[in-house]
Amino acid sequence: MSSEDLKSRITRLAVELGFAASRIAPAAPPPHAAEFLAWLAEGHAADMDWLHRNADRRTDLQKVLPGARSVVMLAANYWQGPRPDPPADAACGTIARYAWGGDYHDWMLERMQRLSDVMATEGGVQKIYVDTGPVIERDFAALSGLGWHGKSTMLINRRLGTWFFLGEILTTLDLTPDPPEKDHCGRCTRCIEACPTGAIIAPQKLDARKCLSYLTIENKGSIPLEYREALGDRIYGCDDCLDACPWNRFATASREAIFQAKNTVLNRPLRDFLSLDNQGFRALFRGSPILRIRRPRFLRNVCVALGNVGTTDDLPALTLAAADPHPLISEHAQWALTRIIRKAEILAGCRAHGLPYSQDLREKQASDFHKSDSLLA
- Measured CA to CA in angstroms, residue 107 lies from 137, 139, 237 at distances of 18, 23, 21
Question: Is-catalytic flag, 131?
Answer: yes
**Identity of residue 318:** L
How many whole angstroms separate alpha carbon 300 and alpha carbon 325?
Answer: 13
Percentage helix, strand, coil, to 5, in the chain? Answer: 50, 10, 40
- Measured CA to CA in angstroms, residue 231 lies from 84, 198, 223, 225, 293 at distances of 20, 13, 9, 10, 17
How many whole angstroms separate alpha carbon 30 and alpha carbon 180?
Answer: 13
Candidate list 60, 131, 183, 243, residue with the active-site label: 131
Nearest to 216 by CA among 57, 121, 98, 116: 98
Nearest to 14 by CA among 111, 119, 105: 111
- Contact criterion met (CB below 8 Å) for 265 and 288: yes
How many whole angstroms separate alpha carbon 45 and alpha carbon 52?
Answer: 9
Helices 315-322, 294-309: inter-axial angle, 10-degree rounding? 140
How many whole angstroms separate alpha carbon 63 and alpha carbon 259?
Answer: 34
- Measured CA to CA in angstroms, residue 375 lies from 205, 347, 355, 363, 370 at distances of 45, 12, 9, 17, 8
Beta carbons within 10 angstroms of residue 290's beta carbon: 23
CA dihedral 314, 319, 320, 323 (to 10 degrees): 150
Nearest to 135 by CA among 159, 164, 171: 171
Farthest CA pair distance, the chain: 87
Q: Which of the residues are catalytic?
A: 131
